[in-house]
Structure 1
Amino acid sequence: MDGVLGTASTAGAVFAGTNIDDIIILTVLFLSARANGKPRPWQIVTGQYVGITALVAVSVIAALGLTIIPDQWVGLLGLVPLALGVWGLIKAIRAKNSDDEPPSAVASGLLSVASVTVANGADNISVYTPMFRTIGVSATLITIAIFSVLVALWCLVGSLLGSHKKIIEFVERYGHWLVPFVFIAIGTVIVLESGVISHLIDLL
């Protein structure tokens, strides 16, 4: 029992430590859902599960000695939220210049939510891989189960943070500018912190 509790505690600490920034993304997504109707809450939750599942799957495969994406290129996934943010900003500028209705949400469906989750958590692979390589099959299954529960908790926290009336009113008014900038910032941080730019420069 102590082994199970220890594994569960470690899994919880690892998940929290590597996904604390996901709270910000989930809050923004739930705010967008309430202000714009997109993405729908079920798409946010499902997209988060799909994204985390993909990260865990890649980590388990890598732990078995197979490399899907070389570590030095993982940072390129940051281009996903960056591109979504830039596109959302372009739509906001177009809408302002033409006096149209504010543009729809930056992440509008399950696939885009999952893509942002994967991109934001790409660096988690470097943490999960050695963990799965050393803890064994039973501990890996327990860890995955704990991760599954914590994804639901993360979504709940994001939903609660995104349910305040004043925040929703603010996002309804300024969200078509705020959300793209948040996504651009997330993508930029992922790319810069990964060191992928220096790898690209080295190839030139």
Structure 2
Amino acid sequence: MLDLLLFGLSTFTAQVLTNLDNLAALLALTLVSGTKRSVTGFLLAQVIVIGTAFILAVGVDGVVPNWEGYLGVIPLGLGILTLIKRKRGAEAETNPNLGTGASIMMVTLLFISLSMDTFAVLAPLLADTAPTYRTAGGIGALLAAFSMATVGLLGSKAPFISSDVARRLERLVPYVMICAGLYILSNSWTDAI
């Protein structure tokens, strides 16, 4: 039971750390487009991304047995590429640019586009685990999404919550992706035994 809880906590953490750009966008959008529209769009996007990662993980499990661990190359590669871009100074700021009348669909699409790094970490992580752990991981990721939505709600009402904190923490994302990729790749050897 403790191992399921710890795996759920690890996906919770991965979900939060790869969604810090979404949190900054959510905090900004709550002030521009309204709290209800922004939070609803954020939650819809997170459910779509987590659900798609979960479906991919279940689908890969039966198609290519004992090879799903090699999906860890994806977050590892993306993390390394992000660090290289950051070293070159080519990283662009992700500032949402939606008007005040943006629909929930537009907000959802914005958050889905900002969530590709989350998908790249979550899908291989869930694919490389047993079904009970996969469920715990999905629950952990959903709890993280609802926690971040709560922060967005609080941020719209409290001026002390700043998107600058999220932008500073966003620097951890490539390292999280590299660690997740290395974990998934190293764990594939234990699955084969």
TM-score range, shorter chain: 0.5 to 0.7
Q: 1:33 aligns with which of 22, 29, 35?
A: 29
Amino acid of the structure 2 residue aligned with 1:86:
E
Equivalence for 1:98: none
Equivalence for 1:189: 176
Amino acid of the structure 2 residue aligned with 1:20:
T
How many residue pairs were aligned?
158
2:57–2:123 CA contact under 8 A, matched in 1: no
Equivalence for 1:70: 70
Equivalence for 1:111: 112
Structure 1 119/167 Cα, relative in aligned 2: closer, same or farther at 3 Å?
A: farther
Structure 1 167/129 Cα, relative in aligned 2: closer, same or farther at 3 Å?
A: same
Question: What displacement does 1:147 show?
Answer: 3.6
Between 1 and 2, higher relative CO (CA 8 Å, sep ≥ 6) is seen in 2
Residue 86 (1) aligns with residue 91 (2): yes
CA distance in 2, matches of 1:148, 1:159: 15
- The structure whose Rg is larger is 1
Question: What displacement does 1:123 show?
Answer: 5.1
TM-superposition CA deviations, 1:7-30 (whole Å, max 9, x none): xx9766533332224235364453
Structure 1 81/179 Cα, relative in aligned 2: closer, same or farther at 3 Å?
A: farther
Pairing 1:146-161 to 2, within 5 Å after superposition: 147=138, 151=142, 153-161=143-151
Amino acid of the structure 2 residue aligned with 1:104:
P
Question: What displacement does 1:45 show?
Answer: 1.0
Question: What displacement does 1:118 show?
Answer: 0.7
2:79–2:175 CA contact under 8 A, matched in 1: yes
Q: Larger deviation: 31-40 or 50-59? A: 31-40
Amino acid of the structure 2 residue aligned with 1:44:
F
TM (norm. structure 1) is 0.53
Stretches of structure 1 lacking an aligned partner (at least 5 in a row): 1-5, 90-102, 196-204
2:43–2:149 CA contact under 8 A, matched in 1: no
Identity %: 11
TM (norm. structure 2) is 0.56
CA distance in 2, matches of 1:193, 1:187: 10
Structure 1 185/36 Cα, relative in aligned 2: closer, same or farther at 3 Å?
A: farther
Question: Superposition RMSD on alpha carbons, in Å?
Answer: 4.4
TM-superposition CA deviations, 1:3-52 (whole Å, max 9, x none): xxx8xx97665333322242353644532332454993222112211221
Structure 1 120/130 Cα, relative in aligned 2: closer, same or farther at 3 Å?
A: closer
Equivalence for 1:61: 59
Equivalence for 2:185: none
TM-superposition CA deviations, 1:25-82 (whole Å, max 9, x none): 3644532332454993222112211221222122212321425783352223447977
Amino acid of the structure 2 residue aligned with 1:54:
T
Question: What displacement does 1:88 show?
Answer: 0.7
